[in-house]
Each structure stands twice: as C-alpha cells, then as structure tokens.
C-alpha cells in the first residue's frame, strides 16, 4: 500500500496472492511493540518477504534497532535484524500513526501487567490501540497478539480502535486475535514451530490472518470460533502450568512434614503412564500474572475459579516458604535470622537463560531484608552493573557474594550451579553455613557431607 492510498486491499487478497515473496513484498506489516515477542515476530515477517515497520514508544529501543542492535539477547535475532535492516525490509520508528497509515496489517504485541492488588492493568493496551486508531486505514487488518482476559479484544481493543479511527471492525477493517507461547532463548524457533491459534471477528478476518501466519508458521493454524476463545486458549496454557506447579509445591510441602523426599517419589510416580508431576520451587516469569487476567473476567461474569485461585495462593506462598527454610537451617546451627548474611544465587526467571523480567529474586531479596537479613546477589549470566541497575544488592563474583555468609539460597537452578565446589564454599562461609536449594541442583548428601545444613522444597528426609 502506498502512502498516498488511504485504502488497503489486504482483505481482498486470494490464497494464491500469498505464495511468493515477490507478492508479499507489496504489502507492509506494522508491529506495534518491539519487545521479547514483538521484535522476533517482526524479523520473521520480514524474512517471509513482507515490508515491516517496527514501532516502539521507547526512543532508546528504536535507536538501538536503527543501528541493528536488539535491546535484549535472543538466539539468532541479531542476525535477522541486521539482514533486514540492510535490505530495507525492516524499519523502526516511534511514530505509530505514520507507521500504521503505511501498513496493510497491524500487529499489536504490547505488555499486559497486574497492579499491586493483582488486578489487570490494560493501560498499555488502551494507549497502543488509540495510537493505532489514529492512523488506521479502511481495509486494513489488525491482529491483536497480547495476552489478555477473555472479552478484552472485542470490548476494550475493538471499541478503542473504532472510537479513535471512526471505522467499524468487521466492516471497515478486519480484527483477529492470535497469541502464542515462546520461551526466551528459543523464541524464533517457537514462533515458527508452534501451531498458531487464530480467532477473529468475522470469516474474512480469520481467512486473511490465517494466510498471513502460514507464511512463516510451519505447523499449521488452529481455528477457534471467536475472539474470546482465542484469548482463552493462551490463558488455559498458563493456568494449566500454574496449577500443575501448585500441585507439585503442595505435595512437596507435605513431603517435608512426612519425612519423604519428594524428588524420589516424583521420579517413581512419573514412570506411570498418567502421571506428569513437575519439580517444586519458586514460580516466576509471566505465569504468576496470567491467572489473574482470567480470574478478573471470571469474577465479573459471576464464575468461580477456586482451583485457579488456590493454585496462585500456593505458588505465591513459596517466597515465604523459602525464607522459612532459611530460618530453619539457621536455627539448626543456633544462628539468629536477624542480621544473618544471605547470598541469593540466580536472578533469571528460568534456569540457563538471561532474562530478568518476572524474576522472583527482586521480591525475595526485599522479603529477606525486611525480616532483618543482610542480602547479596549473584548470577553468572549478568554483569555486576546489570544487576545493580535492576536494583539488586549485587556482588561482582561468586566468591564475594558468599564470603562470610551464613546461608546460601540457590534461587534458580542454572547448570553452572550444579558444579559448585562445596568444599570451597564451606571455607568461604561462616561455621553456620547452610544451603537452601530452591533450584534442585545440589545433592543433599554431598552438601551434608561437606558440612552444610541442607534444606530444599520437599526434601523431607533431609530435615531434622
């Protein structure tokens, strides 16, 4: 679509019009939100042959993109970004209105958050939709790809787009919803390989959105009845994961009381065909947020989700349980918790990746501090300055982090922590040395043989 042409023909295309990169190159896709999912999506769309405009309200992010630098580390992303920046098939801007006015397809991929009261905050979504609406052309297709509660696309998103643009969804422009799961470190591969769930406001929007995704998604399209169902699918995935983790955590807590090693029982139970128990521990990342998006809409509709709410309560409680394990370990060595020196190892929300968003460490460090402990933090995947910028009391080396400490808490089970020299750690720490292993990477017997008091979720046989 040319800038002079205020109408897009994207909704009138036939299936054969999507077959070649030459044909796709006639159309422009605007990706609003160049974050963890947005930027990789934009690069894959450019790789499929489309012209792409990446939009972000953060001028620093856009500045990096214009220089061919991704604002975060992701396998293979920098190569694609530089390739399409050089070819001119990818451009970056902060001007949403102009970018949208030049585009046939607009993908909105912005963050959704919850506030301190665990209520959804859709301010980013509303602002982005207003900005998109100011430049939206007749005949364009909007694909909303942020995780939200069921009903948000057809209410907040649709109404904001319509009110700002003066156009009607399903008549003047197309509207579809499609979110997907992608894990840091393998986002590009996940976006390509996972089947894409698509719901839309009408048949034409679904048809064009599906044809679009087929240009870079390799394992097909999953059609659902409407926008609400598409929203619910993503929530089902994350709520299922949250409930599964809560079950494992609750069973782990019971194993501590019953003097049973949860990991031994879990491994044996998982040999059976219908049992797939997870390892217990802290729940971080986006999973703690998404159930609240569903709980809010369910409550508004008069539905009770007691299992979902209970799972959140169990998983939220694992932070306090981590502190309790540390207190218990210190008590065994007759060391008071107040003024105890605690080293927290691991900042990423998941093992073996460099991703601080959604980390449990920030909140855990605050809880330890408010209860009187002195906290230090170390993660081998982050520099000292990066951790300080996050607001954590970081140390430059592992040795500095653990030197003179009473308790070592392994928050995230990085592979590097599996090879820690327990003998060396014991020499660096105080006589009251203890280990709280939330990452399940230390063998309890080896820790106890090295002179540590050991504690871990569900490791009941190692708790006196």
> Which phi and psi (to 5°) does residue 458 adopt?
80, 0
> Which phi and psi (to 5°) does residue 457 adopt?
-60, 125
Question: Under CATH, what is the fold of the domain 235-314?
Answer: 1.10.1040
* pLDDT of amino acid 461: 74
Contact 53, 29 (CB under 8 A): yes
- The continuous run of DSSP H or E covering 60 comes out as helix 59-66
Fold match flag (10-224 vs 316-462): yes
* pLDDT of amino acid 82: 97
Question: Under CATH, what is the fold of the domain 316-462?
Answer: Rossmann fold (3.40.50)
Beta bridge partners of 437: 410, 456
Tokens of 99: 């970018």
C-alpha distance from residue 287 to each of 181, 253, 350, 438 (Å): 11, 21, 11, 18
Q: Are strands 174-177 and 113-114 parallel, antiparallel or unpaired?
A: unpaired
Reported in sequence order, the residue ranges of 174-225 that DSSP labels E, i.e. its strands, are 174-177, 196-200, 221-223
Calpha distance 109→162 (Å, rounded): 18
Calpha distance 293→241 (Å, rounded): 15
* pLDDT of amino acid 3: 43
Calpha distance 187→182 (Å, rounded): 5
Q: Which CATH number fits domain 10-224: 3.40.50.720, 1.20.120.1200, 3.40.50.10190, 3.90.1150.10?
A: 3.40.50.720
Residue 219, classed as helix, strand or coil, is coil
Tokens of 96: 């949403």
Residue 64, CB-side half-sphere exposure with 13 Å CA sphere: 14
The structure's pTM equals 0.92
Any idea where the domains of the chain sit in the sequence? Answer: 10-224, 235-314, 316-462
Q: What is the mean pLDDT of each run of 10 residues along the chain (464 residues)?
A: 64 93 95 97 98 97 97 93 97 98 97 92 97 97 97 98 98 96 91 97 98 96 96 96 97 95 97 96 88 95 96 96 96 93 94 88 96 96 95 96 97 95 96 94 94 93 66
Q: How many helices (H) and strands (E) does the chain have?
A: 19, 15
Q: What is the DSSP string of 230-296?
A: HHHHHHHHHHHHHHHHHHHHHHHHHHHHHT-BHHHHHHHHTTSTT--PPPPS---TTTTTHHHHHHH
């Amino acid at each position: 679509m040319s800038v002079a042409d205020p109408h897009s023909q994207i909704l009138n295309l036939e299936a054969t019009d999507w077959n070649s990169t030459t044909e796709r190159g006639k159309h422009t896709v605007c990706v609003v939100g160049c974050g963890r999912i947005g930027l990789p999506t934009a690069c894959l769309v450019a790789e499929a042959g489309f012209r792409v405009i990446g939009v972000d309200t953060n001028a620093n992010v856009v500045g990096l993109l214009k220089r061919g630098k991704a604002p975060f580390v992701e396998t293979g992303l920098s190569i694609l970004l530089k390739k399409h920046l050089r070819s001119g098939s990818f451009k970056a801007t902060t001007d949403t209105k102009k970018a949208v006015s030049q585009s046939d397809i607009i993908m909105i991929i912005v963050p959704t958050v919850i506030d301190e009261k665990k209520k959804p905050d859709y301010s980013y979504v509303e602002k982005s939709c207003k900005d998109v609406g100011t430049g939206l052309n007749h005949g364009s297709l909007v694909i909303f790809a942020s995780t939200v509660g069921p009903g948000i696309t057809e209410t907040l998103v649709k109404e904001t787009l319509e009110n700002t643009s003066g156009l009607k969804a399903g008549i003047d422009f197309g509207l579809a919803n499609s979110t997907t799961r992608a894990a840091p470190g393998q986002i590009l591969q996940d976006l390509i390989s996972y089947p894409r769930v698509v719901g839309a406001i009408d048949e034409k929007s679904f048809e064009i959105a599906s044809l679009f995704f087929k240009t870079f998604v390799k394992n097909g399209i999953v059609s659902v009845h409407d926008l609400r169902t598409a929203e619910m699918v993503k929530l089902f995935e994350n709520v299922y994961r949250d409930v599964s983790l809560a079950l494992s955590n609750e069973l782990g807590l019971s194993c501590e009381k019953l003097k049973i090693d949860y990991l031994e029982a879990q491994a044996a139970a998982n040999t059976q065909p219908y049992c797939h128990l997870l390892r217990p521990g802290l729940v971080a990342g986006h999973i703690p947020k998404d159930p609240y998006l569903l709980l809010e809409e369910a409550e508004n509709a008069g539905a009770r989700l007691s299992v979902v709410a209970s799972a959140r309560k169990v998983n939220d409680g694992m932070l306090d349980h981590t502190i309790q394990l540390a207190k218990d370990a210190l008590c065994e060595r007759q060391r008071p918790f107040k003024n105890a020196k605690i080293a927290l190892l691991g900042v990423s929300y998941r093992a073996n990746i460099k991703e601080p968003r959604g980390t449990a460490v920030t909140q855990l460090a605050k809880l330890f501090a408010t209860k009187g402990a002195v906290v230090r933090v170390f993660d081998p995947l982050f520099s000292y300055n990066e951790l300080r910028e996050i607001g954590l009391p970081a140390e430059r080396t592992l040795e500095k982090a653990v030197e003179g400490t009473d308790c070592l808490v392994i928050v995230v089970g990085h592979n590097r922590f599996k090879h820690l020299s327990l003998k060396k750690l014991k020499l660096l720490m105080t006589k009251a040395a203890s280990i709280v292993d939330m990452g399940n990477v230390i063998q309890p017997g080896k820790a106890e043989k090295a002179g540590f008091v050991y504690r871990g979720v569900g490791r009941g046989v190692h708790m006196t």
